[in-house]
Amino acid sequence: MTSYLESAIKQFEYYKSLGDKTISQLSFENLKQEFAKDSNSIAIVVKHMVGNMLSRWTNFLIEDGEKEWRQRDNEFIDTYNSKEDIINSWRKGWNCLFNALKTLSENDLDKIVYIRNQGHTVTEAINRQMMHYAYHTGQIVFLGKLIKGKDWESLSIPKGKSKDYNLEKFSKDKGKRHFTDDL
């Protein structure tokens, strides 16, 4: 990594991959499953994340991140008709984010952007959104684990496998690399 932007993009790619790997393990019915009244299914969390991404990252440097056309309350109403609809929506949100980030340069990081009229440097706005998406991706993964139970395919170091994982990591030479490079 030579820059904050490269590192941020890698981190966003990691969170997207966790969502991708969770969604791939689940059926359409699983993705729509709610555990309690007024709780959110994975489908709803995806819909909210996508709405947020489209709002925040469309015309990122020149428009407020909370767009007039965004209907946030509607993000919590499940309208997906298939797993494919969920996946396509998920990809659309992430594509919007990555397209915006890939146009930025290090010189843009101190520029001011707004979210609901609150000024943020570009770095602060990126960090804000990264933490928001990490929070919701964690919800997606946790719900996926609950749904799949013993059939869950771990996305990290499986229980009881830390020693093996560390042996593999320490068998490599020291070097600067992103932790997601060999996932």
Nearest to 43 by CA among 86, 89, 96, 98: 86
Q: What is the pLDDT of residues 105-145, one digit of tens each?
A: 999 999 999 999 999 999 999 999 999 999 999 999 999 99
To the nearest whole percent, how much of the chain has pLDDT over 90?
84
Cross-strand pairs, 114:
119
Average pLDDT over residues 41-67: 98
Residues 6+ apart with CB under 8 A from 120: 112, 113, 114, 128
Domains of the chain: 4-156 (1.20.120.450)
pLDDT value for 169: 86
pLDDT at 23: 98
As a whole number, mean pLDDT of residues 144-150 equals 97
